[in-house]
Amino acid sequence: RERMPELNVLPYDTSEGAEAVVLAYDTELTYEKLSHAALLLQRPEVAYLATHPDLVCPSPQGPLPDAGSFMSLFETATGRRPEHIFGKPDPAVLGALLQTYDRKDMVMIGDRLSTDKKLAENAGIDFILVLSGEAKASDLPGLERQPTLVVEHLGQLETL
């Protein structure tokens, strides 16, 4: 967000000249912003990008809607899905790491099956699932491909 002005990107531009909608986590989201984005997305020349597909964001009070939830909202309202989703599970987020290190020496550690595990699969690296976040042990039996390792919390990694 801090770099947006130098990149000539406005966090929320109500002008008709907007060239793109960039969907990201927004703690100041309003119905006005949602409506404006939906109207912009009805124009095929307006690019549609998203920062990540997470459906929920953990909070002390419980899960809250995240960018992926709003992707579903916009798809229902406009029929459009983002042309590109930056961030997990796109292996491009690993950038230079994939070019510098051997994939067999890399591991992804995370608590989300939909993004963390999927990133590991897309990048061809091992995945350690941490059960102290979003994923639960009850999610494991239905998986087509199991994580390389499952731990209850990050502290268990110290003993490996």
Stated pTM of the model: 0.74
**pLDDT, tens only, 19-68:** 889 999 988 899 999 999 999 999 999 999 999 999 998 888 988 999 99
Largest CA distance in the chain: 57
Q: What is the mean pLDDT of the chain?
A: 90
pLDDT recorded at residue 2: 62
Give the number of other Cβ atoms within 10 Å of residue 90's Cβ. 17
**pLDDT, tens only, 99-125:** 999 999 999 999 999 999 999 999 999
Going from the N-terminus, what domains does the chain have, and what CATH number goes with each?
5-85 (3.40.50.1000), 102-159 (3.40.50.1000)
pLDDT recorded at residue 133: 86
pLDDT interval class at 160 (50, 70, 90): confident
CB of 6 closer than 8 Å to CB of 16: no
Residue 1 has pLDDT above 70, yes or no: no
